[in-house]
Amino acid sequence: EDYLNRLRRTEPQIKSFLYISDTVLREAEEIDRKIQRNEEVGPLAGVLVGVKDNICTAHMPSTAGSKILENYRPPFDATAVRKLKGNGAIIVGKTNLDEFGMGSTTEGSAYQVTANPWDLSRVPGGSSGGSAAAVSARQCVVSLGSDTGGSVRQPASFCAVVGLKPTYGRVSRYGLVAYASSLDVIGCFGSSVVDAGILLNAISGHDRLDATSSKREVPDFTSQFIAKEILEPKPLKGLRIGVIRETLDDGVDSEVISSIHTAASHLEELGCSVTEVSLPSFSLGLPAYYILASSESSSNLSRYDAIRYGNQVVADELNSLYGDSRTKGFGSEVKMRILTGTYALSAGYYDAYYKRAQQVRALVQKSFKAALDENDILISPAAPSAAYKIGEKKNDPLAMYAGDIMTVNVNLAGLPALVLPCGFVEGGSVGLPVGLQMIGAAFDEEKLLKVGHIFE
Ligand code: GLN
């Protein structure tokens, strides 16, 4: 009731949710009854979870923020959602996003713009802006997002919550509306590292419905967490941290840079050795990401032909049925990505763009590998600036894309990364949050969570 009251009170300004369940209290009462009968209820019993609206939920809308899926109610749960329910969680509703996850502000939603709870005139980040804002405003306890190029980590940074992008393959993508399948992962938001770890425990693991989900054993991510009172003075002694030099360069807000330096000193105090490390291919990641993500999306979104999926307009012949339905159903950013992707994949241009971008992707993977052979964890800002004003970058897509520079390389390499609040810069009435990004080796979420927990 406490959460629902706050949700009702704050939602008219924040607008995190596209849909709010009306069965939350009933489900909570059912869990209560089970507890009284001493029945098994699961580790997330009664925990309210917000789910990004590109993750399928049975009997609830799943629009992916697009008009083309306006009335779509999937007959099934995404594997991550099914697992949450199996752990006792209650789905409180579906959170706002940029259409199909394409954007960095939630202004690209076909339905509404979500506001940043720290300053209502600013964006919460994106594309999982609704999920981040909902946890930040305590409208729900934890939430699910998706991260193709930073969509969990950048909004976590803008809203001062913890955001975890798992290793590619750690969490099943079954039921996640595909944007760029080789980069997409479902990720976790919480108001602490512990919460993010508990959520990751619930959703991880192999799934025969997603051939790219990993068969690796899933550790208990919460076994790393120990009471802070019993920590020794240098609990992270021996841990090697590499600060990525290229992420503290021109174009990055100076207050953001100093927050990262402060975080690095804090890690040193905790016993880590901190050195600078270079990722020479860092700046190539952004153009490569936008070519690859657009190319994959142009293919993935071909399924919305108004016959297999998608709202259908009335038309008198087949080509205009396809064309008019897609013209009406997709927003402008999505159309731009489809056109760019189709171009990059077309016969005359494939070698110059798509193939080139794949070569860059291999370079990025190689340079991360080298840096992570020398270091346990790499750190950087999660975004080059704090949250900016709603409308500021809306008509300048290139400026918006440039804001993804800190996060996209991690998706190209498939690595796990944790973002957590590390400071504030001037702005708004109380200051604006800055997030620290910690990048780990593939499938080493445990180390990220352990270090993040001690750091926070
Ligand atoms: N902002 C990036 C994009 O528009 C990343 C989005 C995401 O991770 N879904 O592609």
Name the residue of 98, 151, 295, 388 whose CB sits within 8 Å of the most ligand 1 atoms, as the mutation to test its pocket. Answer: 151
Looking at per-residue pLDDT, the higher value among 90 and 311 belongs to 90
Share of the chain above pLDDT 70, in %: 100
Domains of the chain: 2-224 (3.90.1300.10)
- Across-strand partners of 380? 437
**Whether residue 154 has its Cβ less than 6 Å from ligand 1:** no
Is the pLDDT confidence value at 226 over 90? no
Q: Which numbered atom of ligand 1 lies nearest the CA of 104?
A: 1
E strands, 151-281, are 162-165, 185-190, 240-244, 273-277
Report the C-alpha gap between 221 and 383 in whole angstroms. 26
Report the C-alpha gap between 178 and 54 in whole angstroms. 8
**Confidence category of residue 309, pLDDT binned at 50, 70, 90:** confident
Amino acid at 37: R
* Beta-sheet strand order (sheet of 17-20): 17-20, 90-95, 48-52, 142-147, 185-190, 162-165, 417-425, 432-439, 377-381, 240-244, 273-277
Structure tokens at 28: 């909570």
Report the C-alpha gap between 34 and 16 in whole angstroms. 31
Residues 6+ apart with CB under 8 A from 225: 193, 194, 197, 449, 450, 453
Which residues are tagged catalytic?
Answer: 52, 127, 151
Give the pLDDT of residue 228: 82
- Across-strand partners of 144? 51, 188
Separation of CA 47 and ligand 1 centre (Å): 28
**Whether residue 147 has its Cβ less than 6 Å from ligand 1:** yes
Containing 420, the helix (H) or strand (E) segment is strand 417-425
- Cα-based angle 172, 177, 183 (whole degrees, multiple of 5): 60
Is the complex ipTM more than 0.95?
yes
Looking at per-residue pLDDT, the higher value among 392 and 229 belongs to 392
pTM, two decimal places: 0.97
**Confidence category of residue 308, pLDDT binned at 50, 70, 90:** confident
Containing 91, the helix (H) or strand (E) segment is strand 90-95
SS3 175: coil
Instruction: Write phi, then psi, for 417 (nearest 5 degrees).
Output: -150, 145
Separation of CA 132 and ligand 1 centre (Å): 15
Name the residue of 404, 406, 407 whose CB sits within 8 Å of the most ligand 1 atoms, as the mutation to test its pocket. Answer: 404
Give the pLDDT of residue 311: 85
**Neighbour tally for 39: CB within 10 Å:** 9
Q: In whole numbers, what is the pLDDT of the chain averaged over residues? A: 97
Separation of CA 237 and ligand 1 centre (Å): 36
Name the residue of 127, 176, 179 whose CB sits within 8 Å of the most ligand 1 atoms, as the mutation to test its pocket. Answer: 127
Tokens 């008509």 label which residue?
395
Share of the chain above pLDDT 90, in %: 95
Report the C-alpha gap between 73 and 65 in whole angstroms. 13
**Whether residue 150 has its Cβ less than 6 Å from ligand 1:** yes
**Whether residue 127 has its Cβ less than 6 Å from ligand 1:** yes
Separation of CA 313 and ligand 1 centre (Å): 29
**Neighbour tally for 347: CB within 10 Å:** 6
- Cα-based angle 447, 275, 234 (whole degrees, multiple of 5): 55
**Whether residue 102 has its Cβ less than 6 Å from ligand 1:** yes
- Cα-based angle 142, 106, 210 (whole degrees, multiple of 5): 60
Buried/exposed code over 334-345 (b: 16+ C-beta within 10 A; e: otherwise): beebbebbbbbb
Separation of CA 382 and ligand 1 centre (Å): 13
**Whether residue 408 has its Cβ less than 6 Å from ligand 1:** no
SS3 369: helix
Give the pLDDT of residue 231: 86
Report the C-alpha gap between 289 and 112 in whole angstroms. 27
Report the C-alpha gap between 221 and 215 in whole angstroms. 16
**Neighbour tally for 83: CB within 10 Å:** 21
